[in-house]
Amino acid sequence: MSTNTVRLHRVLAAKPEKVYRAFLDADAKARWLPPNGFTGKVHEMEAKVGGKYKMSFTNFTTGKSHSFGGEYLELVPNERLRYTDVFDDPNLPGKIQVTVTLKQVSVGTELSIVQEGLPEVIPVEACYLGWQESLRNLARLVEPEINE
């Protein structure tokens, strides 16, 4: 199994409750998680410990999709999420573990993400790039305060 790990850190101008909800709301996750050039669809999301989720990304240029899913291992509201990712493609073997930590800070939320066990065939720098795009999308979703 691969030991490839990606670590990300951001500060978002949004409350931890809103950021946490963006990880567990199917419509929100389909909007912010797909990296640039991809659309996303959540097929299943049972946001509880032991619950499963399934989603897919589709390359908007080629129409080619890849799907993945996993299980929620830990959910501490507004503070921490831990879940697995497993690709349906047998060429991308292994079980990835993602840990998301949220901490309230004076300007909003300090967000830390650790993604461990990436398949060897996925370049770590490609994961960094994809996550950076996703986190910019997340900021665009959670930072505006629209009170209508």
What pLDDT digit, counting tens, does each position of 125-148 carry?
999 999 999 999 999 999 998 887
What pLDDT digit, counting tens, does each position of 89-138 carry?
888 888 999 999 999 999 999 999 999 999 888 889 999 999 999 999 99
In a domain, 147, yes or no: no
Q: Which domain holds residue 136?
A: 4-142
Nearest to 19 by CA among 82, 107, 79: 79
CATH label of the domain that carries residue 130: 3.30.530.20
Report yes or no: 26 and 45 within 8 Å, Cβ to Cβ: yes
In a domain, 33, yes or no: yes
CA atoms within 13 A on the CB side of 103: 9
Report yes or no: 8 and 128 within 8 Å, Cβ to Cβ: yes
